[in-house]
């Protein structure tokens, strides 16, 4: 699944799932632009890629800002000439009961997740349309499909992201741009840490994630998401678009036809 000569923009690539995605893309030969809310983390992942012989650029990006997104796109084009792949992993969440949820907390999470994806896809898709090719992969959440207690605002934003992304895939199909969604279960607390940073809710620890998982355990590994993203970005993913892939531990299900693809197949 070589991605040699491809340029991938990985937003949220500074830590957790996003970092694993960035490293996986680099290992497949892609030049990687690592965007992250935390510049220190973005630069650290980029440095790790370069230390392994790859090409990478680390940038700070708040996807709520169209200006920062446009600047990231500009620097990606200046550094590597084109953008072939976009993977968005960054998300914000907070654990708050709906009856206690403030308007500010709702707006913070929904704006970051839903509006942020809109801004990001809009800017990158414009460049992909010029080249008549591209792959867009958005990491959402099973909460956007099934819902989750104390995460109603997060689930609403993830549902919006799923609907938007599938619609975008249909809209861009004639331009040879494939758009897909990966929906993992509870794997890490990166989005909750970011939510706390944005003052959308209190900080939580790893045990809190396990408690709110319906399986009462972490549901999979970042590596599985990274490999799925690489698959969709590669030539093997050329025939998939506007699909939602639910990842639960060791298998992936297609939400439309419920075909199951195990991690071994990737």
Please say whether the beta carbons of 29 and 4 come within 8 A: yes
Q: Report how far residue 162's alpha carbon sits from residue 208's, in angstroms, rounded to the nearest whole number.
A: 25
Please work out, in degrees rounded to the nearest 5, the angle formed at the alpha carbon of residue 216 by the alpha carbons of 214 and 218: 100
**What's the token pair of residue 18?**
């996003």
Phi and psi, residue 59, nearest 5°: -135, 150
- The DSSP element (H or E) to which 71 belongs, if any, is helix 66-80
Catalytic residue among 38, 154, 239, 245: 154
Q: Report how far residue 226's alpha carbon sits from residue 184's, in angstroms, rounded to the nearest whole number.
A: 11
Burial of 239 (0-12, 13-18, 19+ CB in 10 A): exposed
Among this protein's residues, is 154 annotated catalytic? yes
Indicate which residues carry an active-site annotation.
154
């Amino acid at each position: 699944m070589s991605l040699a000569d491809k340029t991938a923009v990985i937003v949220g690539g500074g830590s957790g799932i996003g970092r694993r995605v960035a490293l996986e893309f680099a290992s497949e030969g892609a030049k990687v632009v690592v965007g992250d809310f935390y510049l220190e983390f973005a630069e650290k992942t980029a440095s790790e890629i370069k230390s392994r012989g790859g090409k990478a650029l680390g940038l700070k990006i708040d996807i709520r800002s169209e200006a920062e997104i446009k600047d990231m796109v500009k620097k990606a084009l200046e550094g590597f000439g084109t953008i072939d792949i976009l993977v968005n992993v960054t998300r914000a969440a907070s654990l708050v009961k709906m009856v206690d949820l403030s308007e500010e907390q709702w707006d913070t999470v929904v704006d970051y997740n839903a509006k942020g994806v809109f801004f990001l896809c809009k800017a990158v898709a414009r460049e992909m349309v010029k080249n008549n090719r591209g792959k867009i992969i958005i990491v959402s959440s099973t909460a956007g499909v099934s819902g989750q207690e104390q995460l109603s605002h997060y689930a609403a934003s993830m549902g919006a992201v799923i609907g938007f992304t599938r619609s975008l895939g249909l809209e861009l199909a004639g331009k040879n741009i494939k758009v897909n969604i990966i929906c993992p279960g509870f794997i890490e607390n990166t989005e909750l840490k970011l939510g706390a940073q944005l003052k959308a809710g209190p900080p939580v620890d790893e045990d809190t994630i396990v408690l709110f998982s319906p399986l009462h355990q972490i549901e999979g590994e970042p590596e599985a998401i990274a490999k799925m993203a690489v698959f969709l970005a590669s030539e093997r993913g050329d025939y998939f678009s506007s699909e939602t892939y639910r990842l639960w531990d060791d298998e992936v299900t297609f939400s439309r036809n419920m075909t199951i693809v195990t991690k071994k197949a990737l």
